[in-house]
Structures are given as C-alpha cells and as structure tokens.
Structure 1
C-alpha cells in the first residue's frame, strides 16, 4: 500500500501555490506541524505497529488513492447541482424542493470539506486547492473543528484528529461534547440529570427538531455580528486582513449554506423564508439522526474503548470502537456515496483516514473478509436500528441516577433496615 509522503501534504502544497487562496491561507495559516502532515499522521510509515504481522497483509494491499478523476468529477457535478438547487430554492422560492433536499446538501458540504481535509482529490493539486477553497467558504464554521483554531496557526491537533485517535471515548473524543453537561435530552450518564428529563420521552423529538436548531440560528447570528464588530477593534488585536477574510468566509456560509439560507431572506418575504428554513432544519435533523448520532455516539462501545487501551493493537482498537451504517438498498447506498466520503463506512475511514471515498466499497470487502477470518468484530448498524438505539437511550436515561450511599460516621446508629439485615447476617453466620 502506498503511504502518503512524510513531508507536506499535496493539499497544503497546492494551497500555497494557488493565487486565489490567499485570503483563506492568511486566516488559517497552515504552517504548523499538524498541517504539514495531515495525511501521514496515521499512515503505516508513521505508525508501523498498526500494520505489523501477517494477519494484516490483506489490509496493507488496499489502495488508498483513486486511479482516475472519479472523485473530482463527482465533486464538480455535485457543486453544479448544489448551486442550481440554491437558485431554485432561494431565488425562485421552490419551498417544497428546499425542505425535501436541504438535509442532503447540508451534509454534502460538510462532508466535502471533510474529504479535502483528509487529502482527497489528489489527482491534480490545482483541482484539490479549488475544491478546498469552495468547501471552506460554504462550511466556514467547520474549519476550526477540522483544522484547529486559527489563533493556533496550525499548531497541535484539531478536534477531528482527536476523534480519530479516541473514537467513542467520552473523556477524550470531542464529538461527545454534545452528550455531556447540561442538555435538554439526556442520553448518557456523563450528562447531568434534571427533573425535566423524566419527561424527555415525550419532548425529545420536538426539541431536537425545532428548539435546538432555532437556538443554533440565534447563536450563529450573534457570532456573525461579533465577527463584523471585530473589524472595529484596534490593530494590535490582529491583522485586518485576517479579520476581513474571516468575516467574508462566515458571510459566504450564511448566504448559501442550506442551514442558514440568508439569500432567501433578501428575495422572499421574511416570514416565508423563516418558516421554510425552520422546516428544512427540522427535516434535516429528523433524517440525519442516524448519520450524525449513531456512528459517533455509541455508548455500548464505551466498554470496548476501555478494553482497547493504549498498549492494544491499533487496528483492533479501531474495530472495537467504530461501526458502519449499513444500507440494504442501492438507492440509499448511492445517496450516501453522493453525500461524500461514504459516511456509512466509518470502520474503513478510521483504518485509512487518508483513503479516497471512492475506494471504501472495495476496502470494506477486504476488511469484512479479514475480520471474519480472524474472528474480529465488524459492527454494522441499520438506519432504523439506529433510531431504535436512540429511543432506548432516551428511555433509559430519563430516570435519575442512583444516589451514592453515604458512609456512616463513627458512633452513628444504623438504620432499622440496616440493623435488621445485620442481625440476619449474624444469625446466618452463627448457624
């Protein structure tokens, strides 16, 4: 298997050579160690222990890169279709088309940036840089998750790399942040329990579909105003070029991204555009739950994460902590492929983070056969089975957690129940 170059990735080299990439390059400054080797960090060259031994011989033969322009052709065609959909939905006001396909394009834009970040579209450097530029504008807020905060200037690892190292680890996987702390819907013991959670079986779906998306819209509006206000700050708080690039990138996402659709508010009546946007986001949350939740938040894999300690074989650790979303319909598989990087192939993606998404089908066949031969786990979850798991988690964690027993102080008399149980144990011991 060909491993990526240990030097700078082709993505970064092409970005620095592209003249139209200057504003985004200034904002995110891909000059740190994590940016220099985003593709080789998990490669067999860097982690030789991950692929040693004869059992992994079949896995080492799986090709990483696409042999032709298949991935690039799919990306360009999908972007043409996306802007055509934007014109019909935002300008012409086809609200049914907007609600029916917003979830698809919203997921596609994020997955496209994810694919470029992992080094896809490497057949030509200029095409790769151009696709990165487009996706980074249409999903501007996701750049911090994939590349790290722009204040760090590329130093350290991004949250997404931490997710790859510690999948389904509540203490170290950043994707678990929405499952912890204070939340409307409690689905894990790491989240605080409140009296309202005993009713969450009744309200979890309406809250997830309408209340949380509306709260996110308000947060994004405030963040955009803060970005614009940062232009008025003195020069010692950062270069103006970086601030302008951040504002323009933020504005591009809010204008065209299906999650915000600001263009529609300038063409259509305000209340109609707002109603369609809320319904589109509610439909997106309803249909994308198994994609966004089941694969990244699987509490039953926590024990597997604890069993796969740092000394365990890296490949086995990834197999224990990831699962594929299984599609039994060809149309569903095609939809998943067009939404990019085959979001159903989480196992293969975690074994080969630098693999092109057009190779996942071939890689999954090899991994399945290898796991069956070595009797290793290969977890798959159906679409509706994923919803069933979510409902079970909501039902299970609606109850308050058991209170820890208070240690008895010296000289304190035992409770009646405790004293009776003590007498029973004494009689049993004496007999």
Structure 2
C-alpha cells in the first residue's frame, strides 16, 4: 500500500489553480452547514467524560485495598483515552470559538487530566497536520524507536536498528509503554525555550503526578499500587495507540521538497476506518481521518456526513480515497512496518 506521493499524486490542476480543488470542496462543506458549532453535543460529551472520570476514581476509593482494583484500572484506562480524545477536539477549536478557552480547556484535560503536556502535544500535532507523513517534517514519522521507511531503516543505529528488525511483532507490546512515554516527553518538553505558559503547564503536570501517585500509594498496598499503575498505564497506552495507529501508518509518504497541494497532501496520506456508531465512539471520530485532516475544526458529529461529500468529490476529481475496516487498517500498518524493516533483517528476511 505504501508508496511515494511523488509517484501516486495526480496533477493538481492548471497552473495558478493551486488549492482550487480544496476551495470548491470547502464551499460544498460550508453550504451543507457542516462547519457550524455543536455546543449541545460537546456539553453532553464533556459532561459524560467528566462523570466517567469522577465515577472511576470514586470506585477506586470505595473499593480500597482490593485485588479488584486492576478492573478499575482497565476502566480508567479507557476513560483516560476518552479524555485524550476530548483534549484533541478542544485543541482543534471544535469546542470553543476562541483560543484562550481552548488552551485553558486543553491544559485542564491534558496536563491535569491525563498527565500530557498540552503545549508539547499541540506543537507536535500542528506540525503533523501541516505535513502528514512527510519523513522530514512530520514528527509522527520521525525515526525514534520505530522506523517508518526503508531509508530510515538503513540509517538506523542502536536501539531503533535492533527493534526495527522485529517492529511489526513488537508494535502492540510497545504500545503498553506509550502512557509512560507521554509523561516523559511532556516533562522533557518543559525544558524547551519555546514552551509557552511554562508555569501553568508545569504546575498542572506536577499536580497530576502528585495526586495520581498519592491516591495509589495511600489507598493501596505497595504491591497493589504497582499492579494498578502498570495495568492502567499499559491499557491506556494500547488504547491510545490503537486509536491513532490506523490513521496514517502504511499510507504514502513524502520526502524532500515534494509538496502536493493541500487537498492531495491530506487525502493521499490518510486512511479512513469504516464502522458504525461504536467505531465512531471508540475512535472519537478519528476514523474519519481524511475529513478531519481537510477540516480540522469541524465538529466530530459532522464528520460522518462530510465523508459522503468528500468521498464523492475525490471520485469526481480523480483523487484516490482509501478506507478500510478496523482490523484491516491494523494489518496494513503492520505489513508496512515489516516491509520497511527488511533492510535490517538481511537478505534472508
């Protein structure tokens, strides 16, 4: 499935018409009323997520020092994932009209709620949206522990080189560490001179860590506290990773100066996941990744309706539009990880 956009991208129209394809699509979306705010929807969703968060911790305190606590940890891992998805919508200004309440909400849900630096994530996610799947510009496909292209694999050294050989098999096990990775990355980001609102970011992160660890080790015995922490963070990491992994992994990539127009850059690098209301709920609307990348501030409940317009328009102008089932999306991502790791396994792979 994975190719270079330089070879898969159809022409963007006559000279001087750059962006005109997107402009025509945008007019159709606006005319359908799909960019209008949905305050009622978000009032219900934020209230439900907040109630689930409070309810999960209430169960934790009611149960006390019990070996039933790992079940609460699993429930709270799912709730934390939902809080992270709400933070994502807040960051894209789907919830509030103005930047200030969006930033305040993002720091409360992100830093205080799940222990993830809103400022760090916003910087990373903004760069991803601007250049999805660009190997030099998208931080989500930068070689770190995993490699995302054969070129990255050939240049890999140390731990990425070792893990890259087996990264398809290790992908889901490695996701159990994603919750911990978010905290470590967030704390490291506080040292960056570009971090805005350093004081509030640091205070809310510290409050999250202190409250979280205090609750665990004051209510539970050390062994149960450690078990809760490991189960909670591992399941949270897997859920979060499974939410974001289908979106771009294994889709065409960009390198160097290759920059197709905005519509093609977003559509050709993104994958939609088919499903019903349950899929929409579990993935927080990110299963409509193509529509989300084209219209990041579109309220989540409008994405399903927007999909019909975007898919028909892409067929009209000859732009490939990729969607698949949830299981197949993971299979495509894993096949890609295995294929790009071939240079590290040698000629017998």
Query: For this structure pair, what is the TM-score category when the shorter chain's length is used for normalisation?
Result: 0.7 to 0.9
| Pairing 1:155-194 to 2, within 5 Å after superposition | 158-177=123-142, 180-181=143-144, 183=145, 185-189=146-150, 190-191=152-153, 192=156
User: 1:326·1:383 contact (CA, 8 Å) conserved in 2?
Assistant: yes
Corresponding residue for 1:200? 166
Corresponding residue for 1:110? 84
Runs of at least 5 residues in structure 1 that lack an aligned partner in the other structure: 1-46, 148-157, 231-236, 404-431
TM-score by length of 1: 0.61
Q: 1:96 to 1:140 in 2, by over 3 A?
A: closer
| Pairing 1:174-323 to 2, within 5 Å after superposition | 174-177=139-142, 180-181=143-144, 183=145, 185-189=146-150, 190-191=152-153, 192=156, 196-197=162-163, 200=166, 204=170, 207-209=173-175, 212=177, 216=181, 219=184, 223=187, 245-254=200-209, 262-298=214-250, 300-302=251-253, 305=254, 309-310=258-259, 312-323=260-271
Q: 1:356 to 1:219 in 2, by over 3 A?
A: closer
* CA distance in structure 1 between the partners assigned to 2:261 and 2:198 by the alignment: 44
| Pairing 1:25-424 to 2, within 5 Å after superposition | 49=19, 57-62=27-32, 63-89=34-60, 92-93=63-64, 94-122=68-96, 131-132=105-106, 134-136=108-110, 137-139=112-114, 141-147=116-122, 158-177=123-142, 180-181=143-144, 183=145, 185-189=146-150, 190-191=152-153, 192=156, 196-197=162-163, 200=166, 204=170, 207-209=173-175, 212=177, 216=181, 219=184, 223=187, 245-254=200-209, 262-298=214-250, 300-302=251-253, 305=254, 309-310=258-259, 312-327=260-275, 329-336=276-283, 340=284, 342-401=285-344
- The alpha-carbon deviation at position 363 of structure 1 amounts to 1.2
Runs of at least 5 residues in structure 2 that lack an aligned partner in the other structure: 1-16
User: 1:167·1:321 contact (CA, 8 Å) conserved in 2?
Assistant: yes
* CA distance in structure 2 between the partners assigned to 1:69 and 1:77 by the alignment: 12
Superposed CA RMSD in Å reads: 4.0
TM-score by length of 2: 0.73
User: 1:49·1:313 contact (CA, 8 Å) conserved in 2?
Assistant: yes
Q: Residue 166 of structure 2: SS of its match in structure 1?
A: helix
Say how many residue pairs are matched: 316
- The alpha-carbon deviation at position 365 of structure 1 amounts to 1.9
Q: Deviations over 1:185-244 (max 9, x none)?
A: 55533141567448626961575155x4596499479x49x98xx9xxxxxx9xxxx776
Q: Which has the higher contact order (CA 8 A, sep 6+)?
A: 2
Q: Residue 200 of structure 2: SS of its match in structure 1?
A: helix
